[in-house]
Amino acid sequence: MLLAFLLTFSALILILAFLVNLYWSPILASKVKSIVLTSSDGLYTVGFSDAKLHVIRGEIDIYNLTLKPDTAVYNRRMKNHLAPNNLIELHVKRLVLSHMHPYKLYFSNQLDIGRITLEEPELKVSYQLNHTKDTIIKDKRTTWQKISKSLRSIHIGQISLNDVKFKYEDYSGNKVAVSELKEMNLSATDLLIDSATQTDKSRLLYCKDIFTELNDYSGKTSNGLYSYKIKSIRLSTQTSKLNIEGLDLQPVKADVFFNKTMHDRFKIHLDSLQLNNFDFQSYHKFRIINASCMILSHGSLEIINNPNKNLTEIDRIKSFPNFGLKQLKADLNIDTISAQHINISYTEFNKKSNKTGTITFNDSKGQILNVTTNKTLLQKNNISTARVSSDFMNKGKIDVLFAFNLTDTNASYSYKGSVGPMNLQALNPAIMPLALIKINQGTLTRMDFDINANSKISKGKVAVLYKDLKVTVLKADTNNDRFKHMTIASLFANVMVIKHDNPDNEGEQPRSFYVIYNRPKDSPFFKTIWHTLLTGIKPSAGLNEKMQQNVKAIIAEQKLHKQERIIKKAQRKQKREERRKKRELKKEQDSI
């Protein structure tokens, strides 16, 4: 009897579920289509092949769901300058609505869903800059006000999209830029549209939080010179934080790189990059990058100066930070960029030595303020400042304060700072190949500099205080890939030219020099700074223009004497050979 009752009850439940499913599917289809059409002002339409309601599980399965824009409506909005910047297309093989409350929908006009899961979603976003601010729409009602006649509220506890196939097309440039992702995860929590949340600005798209995660993203730049790789990207709209971990930018091999471009070669690694108070909504709508702070932690930046001979005709002004920032097409505003534990190196090729020298700034840290391209903000403040501290050549502490004019057409800037005590022999890896001088001994007490510059000229003051300086003048030995000591020139430099101390005697006023450096147009930013400071360092050590000319004259005289000795030696050898031949000829004549 009990078994028969259970079987009968189960049969009734199944029949009821079937009838409810048959009844609810068209209601659900009608409701969903109406909501999408109304809330998007007719821009989007939604459709699906089938929908099934599982009463016992409280679940609805929707198959082959598509969300598409109506191109006719979009084109009309384009003509009226009301079209959005982003268009979305979505296809989902199966959409599962769990913990549904269908009776709330039918009897109370409240759509309440515990969880929505999208299986095998394919999302396509097309971006075109139609306007730079929210357009004025005649219908100023909120989304809730538009749907309130059909629904009192919409609530979804969680929305999950895993392994999204994402395609992004950007039509804002000269040609379409296409990006495709295959391993993106996206989730949204507590979507709520009602009378209370209709104007809640803390929610994005009415969600309390939208969390996006992308792992193992890689690709190549459009010119093919760099490949990039990102371990993970995470964005939370609730915390307004964008986190990037494991960022690498790798250039192609040096010979390939320098044959294809006139630019300097960069190599970048960052353990982590974090944007705080990142305004995702402004970026999503208008591609405006707005954040309070960017934090860069543990990384390296390697810069190799392009040695290409054809660079003399190219103005390298694009390498200047303030000029390069102006060239960005993005609307950018970051209040503060903080960096810590960053190793920076600059490598330059010297044609005379046929070798490269490298200057390093280890464990760099600092702050850059007011990094912006926004025209309104630039009218209020057009100066960006950067305060940087590093271990120069891993031996001496260097502190520098930069100030960049972000609106000046000549890219004017200034920098002042100091280098603390260090053993000057630490400079040899840089100055031996670049200046053909080896420091045998010497101690830097302090170096101070204060330079005002632009893309054409640098002017300022340099003072270098040091003790017991002794050097060796070098020349390249190309046959053996090494340097040769120029003994006489070194002796002359140490005895007659080099000032071994600054100040010369204790208590005396130290030497300092006003420098003027006319920048060659093919000189990039870092090279310009290095050669400007070198213009003041050389005379501080006694190597002023006159002394350098004297050294060159002595070296030339050495070469001349050497050539004369070679010629005289050859002449003596020739005379000996002539006398030998005469003796042999005389012997032959005597024997006859």
Answer yes or no: is pLDDT of 181 > 70: yes
In a domain, 289, yes or no: no
User: Within 198-272, where are the H helices?
Assistant: 254-260
In a domain, 584, yes or no: yes
pLDDT of res. 139: 66
Q: How many CA atoms lie within 13 A of 202 on its CB side?
A: 7
Write the pLDDT tens digit of every residue in 462-483.
Answer: 999 989 888 777 776 655 556 6
Q: Could you list the residue range(s) of the whole structural domain that residue 72 is in?
A: 32-216
In a domain, 406, yes or no: no
Kindly give the pairing relationship between strand 331-350 and strand 288-304. parallel
The sign one gets for the Cα dihedral 253, 254, 260, 264 is positive
Domain count, the chain: 2
In a domain, 253, yes or no: no
- Residues 293 and 96: their CA atoms lie apart, in Å, by 39
Q: Which of 139-148, 302-311, 339-348: highest mean pLDDT?
A: 339-348
Q: Which residue, 216, 240, 266, sits at the end of a domain?
A: 216
Reference 158, options 123, 194, 118, 122; nearest CA is 118
Q: Which residue, 216, 234, 261, sits at the end of a domain?
A: 216
Write the pLDDT tens digit of every residue in 24-37.
Answer: 555 555 666 666 66
Q: How many CA atoms lie within 13 A of 60 on its CB side?
A: 25
Whole-prediction pTM = 0.77
* CA distance to 158, 245, 360, 376, per residue, from 347 (Å): 52, 27, 9, 38
pLDDT of res. 446: 92
Q: Which residue, 185, 216, 247, sits at the end of a domain?
A: 216
Write the pLDDT tens digit of every residue in 110-164.
Answer: 888 888 888 888 888 888 877 666 655 566 788 888 778 878 888 888 988 888 8
In a domain, 139, yes or no: yes
